[in-house]
Amino acid sequence: MSLDGTYDAGNIFAKILRGEMPAAKVYEDDHVLAFMDVFPQSKGHTLVIPKHSTARNFLDEAPEVVGPLMLGVQRVARAVRAALTPDGLVITQFNGAPAGQTVFHLHFHIIPRWEGVALGRHAEGMADAAELKELAAQIAAKIS
């Protein structure tokens, strides 16, 4: 998919927001929902999405949504750091299929990194649901 197109309300993140699909939730407020990536690139790979948006990517998002979204990303990233003590964090966002975007609902990835530990490939293998739930609880306990 290119950068342009029509929002698909049937995408997996829209289904999670509507409660039609499960997710290991980390954090939720009026503006954002954070949950564990089921195809993690590292332990603790977390996604943050806007709750009231039909933006396919960052370029489509309304400015009034961006501020609260970025505050949510920062809040969750700080909690991931506190809970898992990684050596670094990748905070990234993709726009369009050629850039690596696979779900066309605006979202940010928070990916913990440890020195000497290789980054996995996205969608290489599905994580264990119980492990994701445990990680979500550890991270949620550090939300301030």
User: What is the 8-class DSSP label of residue 115?
Assistant: T
β-pair type (46-50, 108-113): antiparallel
Please choose, from the candidates 86, 72, 38, 45, the residue with its C-alpha nearest in 3D space to the C-alpha of residue 143. Answer: 72
Q: Are the C-beta atoms of residues 42 and 87 closer than 8 Å to each other? A: no
**Three-class DSSP category at 101:** coil
111 forms beta bridges with 90
Instruction: Just list the catalytic residues.
Output: 107
Taking the C-alpha atoms of residue 135 and residue 100, their distance in angstroms, rounded to an integer, is 25
36 forms beta bridges with 46
